[in-house]
Amino acid sequence: MLYREALNKALDEVMAIDDTVVTLGEDVGLYGGSFRVTEGLVEKYGEERVIDTPIAELSIVGNAVGMAIGGLRPVAEIMTGNFSLLAFDQIINHMAKLHYMSNGKVILPMVVRFPQGVSKQLAAQHSESYEQMLCSVPGLRVLSVCDVNYAYHALKYAILSNDPFVFIEHELLYNKKGEVNFEEQLDPFKARIVKEGEDITIVSYLKMVDDVMKSVPAIESALNCSCEVIDLCSLNPIDYETLATSIKKTSRLVMVEEDHKTGGFGSQVVAWAAEEIFYALDAPPLRLAGADVSIPYNRTLELASIPTPDSIAQDIIVWGKKNDV
């Protein structure tokens, strides 16, 4: 099924078994969602559980916080990651903190989900990535979705959990096809080994995982090596155990992300490796990330501002030859 269909099915199945689950956001009802994730749900569950809201992200998440405190399990959809900035007060000061500040008396079983990242010429105000800010906030669990099977299982888990989740998708993955194993007992916090290898550990998440996989044949051919590719899946918490096992095997780490390099999320992974498993590394880690510029509208400049399969391959090959891979 498609990535968006997997998300839709997860929502549908949870809403069918638990009438406290509601979803709210711009155009989630009659229109079926900007990316068709909520398509058909309003016909099944009605406008009291599939709620079209005004264009007001602070209100969307604020209402979801109140719903969660009141005993519902809201799933709030924000149209794109940039718009989540308008809701950061509710996400950071209420959604993330109320459980702690109430000494555990307030439970917030809620999910805020949105797509982010560079799509195709949506320009600077619709193309950013904010996981680095969200993952720095104690109290939030942050999942990032590349795989179709993971999308289905992780969203169900997040909705049924009693913790507040931020569920990050990517605009260019909604039509991605994949198999879903409905019987699998998937741990959403465990990193996914996409490809096993012996010489280089390449860590990524969201759409960059697919771009890394496209670059791997050229890397392996040029360096006569094998790459292990890991999809983080969960950004907070991070599955450091899986990363450590892989890096101790390969002795080399490459971190690939779409976000801007300065202050980007990948710096956390590299810092952890330097602090915790420094002596397992035979070469300095390599970070590949977006340029420190606002995302351009021009397609040529847009692609130049982020890693692409060709640039990933080229940069890793240069790094590999320099470090005797």
Q: Is the fold of 3-173 the same as that of 192-322?
A: yes
In CATH, the number for domain 3-173 is 3.40.50.970
Give the whole-angstrom CA distance, residue 78 versus residue 272: 31
SS3 of residue 289 by DSSP: strand
Give the whole-angstrom CA distance, residue 82 versus residue 151: 21
Long-range contacts of 161-165 (CB under 8 A, 24+ apart): 161/109, 162/107, 162/108, 162/109, 163/99, 163/108, 163/109, 164/68, 164/95, 164/96, 164/99, 164/108, 164/109, 164/110, 164/111, 164/112, 164/139, 164/140, 165/110, 165/111, 165/112, 165/140, 165/141
Would you give the distance in Å from CA 4 to the centre of its chain? 14
pLDDT value at residue 164: 98
Residue 196: partners with Cβ closer than 8 Å, 6 or more residues away: 226, 228
pTM listed for this prediction? 0.96
Dihedral of CA atoms 311, 316, 321, 323 in degrees, nearest 10, equals 140
Are 145 and 278 spatial neighbours (Cβ–Cβ below 8 Å)?
no
CB neighbours of residue 34 within 10 Å: 18
Would you give the distance in Å from CA 272 to the centre of its chain? 20
Spatial strand order of the sheet with 50-52 comes to 50-52, 21-25, 73-77, 111-116, 165-170, 141-144, 234-236
> How do the pLDDT tens digits run along the chain, 325 residues long?
999 999 999 999 999 999 999 999 999 999 999 999 999 999 999 999 999 999 999 999 999 999 999 999 999 999 999 999 999 999 999 999 999 999 999 999 999 999 999 999 999 999 999 999 999 999 999 999 999 999 999 999 999 999 999 999 999 999 999 999 999 999 999 999 999 999 999 999 999 999 999 999 999 999 999 999 999 999 999 999 999 999 999 999 999 999 999 999 999 999 999 999 999 999 999 999 999 999 999 999 999 999 999 999 999 999 999 998 8
Sort residue 62 into left (φ over 0), alpha (ψ -120 to 50) or beta: alpha
What are the domain boundaries of the chain?
3-173, 192-322
Would you give the distance in Å from CA 111 to the centre of its chain? 13
pLDDT 10s digits, 222-232 = 999 999 999 99
Active site residues: 57, 126
Residue entry with tokens 């969200």: 134
Residue 181: partners with Cβ closer than 8 Å, 6 or more residues away: 149
Give the whole-angstrom CA distance, residue 93 versus residue 210: 34
Are 76 and 112 spatial neighbours (Cβ–Cβ below 8 Å)?
yes
pLDDT value at residue 65: 98
Beta strands at 286-290 and 200-204: parallel, antiparallel or unpaired: unpaired
pLDDT value at residue 325: 87
**What's the number of CA atoms in the CB half-sphere (13 Å) around residue 130?**
24
Q: What is the largest CA-CA distance in the chain?
A: 61
pLDDT value at residue 157: 98
pLDDT 10s digits, 250-260 = 999 999 999 99
Give the whole-angstrom CA distance, residue 323 versus residue 59: 51
In CATH, the number for domain 192-322 is 3.40.50.920
**What's the number of CA atoms in the CB half-sphere (13 Å) around residue 272?**
15
Evaluate the omega torsion of the peptide bond into residue 237 and state whether it is cis, within 30 degrees of 0: yes
